[in-house]
């Protein structure tokens, strides 16, 4: 199943490029005009990292 825009942005910016959550927040706001709370992004990022650890 394909990931949503928010998860794709987190994967690309935070996981692959190693940048901060705020960078992903700004990217979503500027490119897609999606306003997401930083806390929501942080929780999704932590969940994504936990899933990767479980798979590895």
Which pTM value belongs to this model?
0.86
**Hey, is 16 helix, strand or coil?**
helix
The rounded Cα 19 to chain-centroid distance in angstroms is 10
Domain range summary for the chain, segments of one domain joined by +: 5-55
The dihedral sign for the CA sequence 2, 12, 31, 44: positive
Q: What is the pLDDT of residue 55?
A: 84
The tens digit of pLDDT for each residue in 15-53 reads: 999 999 999 999 999 999 999 999 999 999 999 999 888
């Amino acid at each position: 199943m394909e990931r949503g825009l928010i998860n794709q942005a987190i994967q690309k910016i935070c996981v692959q490029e190693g940048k901060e959550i705020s960078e992903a927040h700004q990217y979503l706001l500027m490119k897609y005009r999606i306003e997401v709370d930083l806390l929501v992004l942080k929780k999704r990022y932590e969940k994504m990292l936990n899933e990767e650890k479980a798979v590895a």
